[in-house]
Amino acid sequence: MTNGLWTTSVGSFPKPPELLAARTEHAAGRLSDDDLSALERRATEDWIRFQESIGVDILVDGEMYRGDMATYFAEELEGFAIGGIVRAYGNRYYRKPIAIAPVRRTHPITVEMWRYAQSLTDKPVKGMLTGPYTIADWSFDEHYGSRREFVLDLAHAIHAEAMDLAAAGARFVQIDEPAASTRMEELPLVAEAMGIVTDGLPAYAITHICYGDFMRAYPTMLDIPVDQIDLELTNSDFELLDRFREIPFTKHVGLGVSDVHSHRVEAVDEVVRGIKLALEVLPPESIFVDPDCGLKTRTVEEAQAKMRVISDAVAKVRDELGIGSALPDVGPTPGRNAGVPVAVASNATETEPALP
Amino acid sequence: MFATLVGAYPRTPLAGQPFPLRAAYGRLERGEIDGAGFREVQDELVRELMGEQIDAGMGILTDGQVRWEDAQTALTRGLEGFEATGLLRYFDTNTYYRQPRATGEPRWTQPILVDDWRFADGAARQAAAERGLQPLAVKACLIGPYTLARLSDAGDLGRESLTLALAEALGQEVRALVEAGAPVVQVDENALSLIGADDEAERKLASEALSRLTSALDGLTEHHLCLAVTMGSAEHAGHALLFDQPFHSYLFDLIKGPDNWRLISYAPADRGIVCGVADARNTARDDEPVMIWAGRYAASLNGRGRDRVGLAPSTGLEYLPRDRARAKIQALGEAARKAGLGKEALGTEIDPRAVDARSAALGRVERPASRAGGAS
C-alpha cells in the first residue's frame, strides 16, 4: 500500500484566553516566570492531546511560549535589542528586533520545550525554528550594514539549534522562511544560509514559505537545501500547482489547504479538492497536508475546526484512493540537495512524478 | 526647504503609552463599539500626530494614513468594481494587504478620502493655533492607477484596461480633493520602480495612465500635484514618463533607489523635488550632513532653488516603531531648517567640513573669518 498525505500543522496554534491574560500579567511583572511556564506547558499539552485526538500524523507544540516568530529567537540570541512595536497587517503588531552587535547563540532555545512536547506523545513532534533569512529580514540592522553577513551569522546560530534538536531526538526539524519569497535576487542567499543550517543535519528538514510571489520564486526556491518546502496554496487558489506541470517539484511538499486568515472554516470537500489538485501533479508519498500558515491568529475554536476539516478531508481521500498513513523512516532525502531540475520537462504528467 | 512625511506614520503609541487604537479595533470586532465610536479613536490619533509633526518642524503634514487598512484597500473600498481577496506581501516589506480583485470596470461614484482630508486639515489648524503658529499645509495622498492596477488582480478585465479605468476613476478623486481645498495632492506610484529597462509597454501604459489621471484637473488652476515613487528606483520608468506629465513636484526614495538621483538631474527647474533621504526601513540614525547635502544638491540642480526642495523619509514611516519614527521626523525637520540656511550660517550649525570644500579637502575645520563664535 502506498502511504502518504500525512497531516501536520505549520507551527503555531492560538493561545487560550487564560494564557493570553497570563502573558499580559507576566509582561507587567505581576506573574512569575514559573507560573507563566506552568500555563504554557498546560496549553501545550492541551494542543498535543487535541492533535492526537483528531489523528494528526506529525505534531507541533503550538508555540504557546512564543510571541512573534522572529522576535522570539532574537530575544534568546546575543546581539539583539528588542525594539518597539510595528504593524504587520490589520490589527496585528509585533516587536521588531534590532541587531546591535554580532549575533551569537549562547544556549539552546527550543530544545527544552520540544523535549517536553515530545514526552507527551508517541507521535513525532516537529522541532520548530525560524530561518536566518527571515529573522534578519524582520529585524532592523544597526550593526552589520551587510545583509549577507547578518544572515550568515544567524545561519550558524540556527544550525547549532537544529543540531541540538536532532541530538535530542527530533526526526523532523522545520526552519521557517516566510520571507524567502520577498526578494527574488536574494533567493540564493536564502539557499546559502539554509545550506549552513541543514549541513549534516540528521533529520528531515522542512522549510515553510508564505505570502510572497511564488510564481516568480519558483523554481529557484527548489535550490533551498531542505527535504520539504511547505507552501501556502489556498490563499492563491493553488495556482502554483500549474507551474509544477511545467517544471517538476523536486522535493516533498507541505500543501497548505486552509486559509488561516479567514474566520470561515472550509468545507471538507473544499479541502478534498485542494488535495486532489495536488495529486494531479505530485504523488501522495511526497505530500504533507496542513493549513496555509500558523493558526495563531484564529480563535481556539476556529483553529480546531480547521484542523478537524483537514484531518477529515485527508481521511476521505486516503480512503477513496487506498492510501495508508504509515510514516516513512524519515531523514535526509535525495531531494534535499536536488535543486532546480537541470532538464526541464515540458510534458511532465501525473504518471511521471518528478520526485527523487 | 521644508520637511514632510511621504504619507504613512506609525499608528502605534510611544513607548510606555497606552494603545487605544488597538483596543478600539478589538472592541469594534466584538461589537462593543460601532463605527462612529471607532472613528473617534482614530480622530484623536490624527490630532496627536498633527501636533507631533508640527513639533518636529515638518512643513507639510499628513494624517499619517492611520485610518487605512492599507494604501490599496483605502481606495478600492470606495470604488465600485472591486472585491478583497487573499493576503499579499507589500513590495519587500513584512506588511501585508488584501489583494483587490477587479470584478468589473472600476467606477468612482463619490469622494473617498475627502472627509478624512478635511478632518486632518481642521486638526492641523487646531494644533497650529494651540502652538501660536500659522496653519500648515496638509497634503492628501492616494495610490496611483498604475500601482493600484499592478498590485491588484485584474480578473477578466486585464491589467491594461484596469489601469486606464483606474486612471479615470482616481482622477475624479484627485479632482474632488483639489476642489475640497487640498493644497497638495500626492499620487503614489511605487510600482514605477518595478518597470524594467526593456519594459516599453509598461512605460507606455504608465504614461497613458498618468496623462488620464492628470487630465481630470483640466480647467482647475489652483492646485499642486506631486508624484511620489518610493520602494526603489524609477530610473527605468524614465525621465520622459515622469517629467512630461504636469506634476508640480516629485518625491523620490533616495535610500532604496539612489539611482533616482539621475532622474532628478533631468527634472525641469520649475518642478519641486522632495528628497527621500531618511531611511524609513531602518532604525539607525540618519547622517544629518548627508540629508542637508541632498537637499542643497537638489536645490542647485538646474538652478531650482531651496524653496522648491523638501526632505522626507525614504518611504512611509509605518515600518518603524513610533519613537524611532518621531526621532526621524525630528531629524528631518532640523535638517531641512539647516539646509535652508545660507552657507555661512550653515557652517555654524554643522561641521563645516560637510559643506565647505576647502575644509573638507584640508580635513580640518576652517571657519569663515567673518564669524566670531560658532558651533562646537
* pLDDT of res. B368: 56
A355 — pLDDT class (breaks 50, 70, 90): very low
The mean of the pLDDT values for chain A is 93
Which of A84, A137, A236 is facing B324, going by the closest CB pair?
A: A84
* Chain A residue closest in CA terms to B284: A142
* B284 CB within 8 Å of a chain A CB: yes
CB contact under 8 A, B95 and A88: yes
* A299 CB within 8 Å of a chain B CB: no
CB contact under 8 A, B282 and A259: no
Could you tell me the residue ranges of all domains in chain A?
6-68+104-346
CB contact under 8 A, B321 and A84: yes
A235 — pLDDT class (breaks 50, 70, 90): confident
CB contact under 8 A, A211 and B88: yes
Which residues on A lie below 8 Å from B326 (Cβ)? none
* Chain B residue closest in CA terms to A211: B88
* Chain B residue closest in CA terms to A214: B88
Cell of A90: 490589520
Residue found under cell 479605468: B165
* B96 CB within 8 Å of a chain A CB: yes
Which of A89, A140, A235 is facing B95, going by the closest CB pair?
A: A89
Interface predicted TM-score (ipTM) of this complex, two decimals: 0.86
Which residues on A lie below 8 Å from B95 (Cβ)? 87-89
Pick among A69, A87, A130 to test the B interface (most B CBs inside 10 A): A87
The residue ranges of chain B whose pLDDT is under 70 are 355, 359, 365-376
* B95 CB within 8 Å of a chain A CB: yes
* pLDDT of res. B366: 62
Which of B22, B96, B282 is facing A91, going by the closest CB pair?
A: B22
Torsion of CA B255, B259, B265, B268, to 10 degrees: -80
CB contact under 8 A, B282 and A141: yes
Which is nearest to A287 in space by CA: A337, A323, A246, A260? Answer: A323
* A183 CB within 8 Å of a chain B CB: yes
Cis peptide before A219 (omega within 30 of 0): yes
* Chain A residue closest in CA terms to B15: A84
Of residues B47 and A234, more confidence is placed in: B47
CA B99 to chain A, closest CA, distance in angstroms equals 10
Which of B70, B92, B320 is facing A182, going by the closest CB pair?
A: B92
Pick among A68, A85, A141 to test the B interface (most B CBs inside 10 A): A85
Model confidence pLDDT, tens digit, residues A20-60: 999 999 988 999 999 999 999 999 999 999 999 999 999 99
CA B50 to chain A, closest CA, distance in angstroms equals 20
* pLDDT of res. A261: 85
CA B278 to chain A, closest CA, distance in angstroms equals 14
Range 246-265 of A in CB contact (< 8 A) with B:
259, 261
CA A293 to chain B, closest CA, distance in angstroms equals 12
A160 — pLDDT class (breaks 50, 70, 90): very high
Residue found under cell 510572497: A212
Which residues on A lie below 8 Å from B89 (Cβ)? 181-182, 211-213
Which of B87, B318, B323 is facing A261, going by the closest CB pair?
A: B87
Of residues A355 and B141, more confidence is placed in: B141
Which residues on B lie below 8 Å from A150 (Cβ)? none
Cell of B371: 564669524
Q: Tell me how many residue pairs between chain A and chain B have CB atoms under 8 A apart.
A: 68
Average pLDDT over residues A172-198: 95
Model confidence pLDDT, tens digit, residues A242-274: 999 999 999 999 999 999 988 899 999 999 999
Tell me the backbone φ, ψ of residue B225, rounded to 5 degrees.
-105, 130
Q: What is the CATH number of domain A6-68+104-346?
A: 3.20.20.210
Specify the pTM.
0.88
CA B22 to chain A, closest CA, distance in angstroms equals 6
| Residues A253 and A288 sit within 8 Å (Cβ to Cβ) | yes
Which residues on A lie below 8 Å from B86 (Cβ)? 235-236, 259, 261
Which residues on A lie below 8 Å from B10 (Cβ)? 86-87
* Chain B residue closest in CA terms to A180: B92
* Distance (Å, whole) CA B10 – CA B65: 9
SS (H, E, C) chain B: CEEECCCCCCCCCCCCCCCHHHHHHHHHHCCCCCHHHHHHHHHHHHHHHHHHHHHHCCCEECCCCCCCCCHHHHHHCCCEEEEEEEEEECCCCCCEEEEEEEEEEEECCCCCCHHHHHHHHHHHHHHHHHCCCCCCEECEEEECHHHHHHCCECHHHCHHHHHHHHHHHHHHHHHHHHHHCCCCEEEECHHHHHCCCCCHHHHHHHHHHHHHHHHCCCCCCCCCEEEEECCCCCCCCCHHHHHCCCCCEEEEECCCCCCHHHHHCCCCCCCEEEEEEECCCCCCCCCHHHHHHHHHHHHHHHHCCHHHEEEEECCCHHHCCHHHHHHHHHHHHHHHHHHCCCHHHHHHHCCHHHCCHHHHHHCCCCCCCCCCCCCC
* Chain B residue closest in CA terms to A92: B22
CB contact under 8 A, A142 and B323: no
* Distance (Å, whole) CA A181 – CA A214: 6
Cell of A179: 520571507
CB contact under 8 A, A142 and B94: no
A347 — pLDDT class (breaks 50, 70, 90): very low
Flag whether pLDDT at A157 surpasses 50: yes
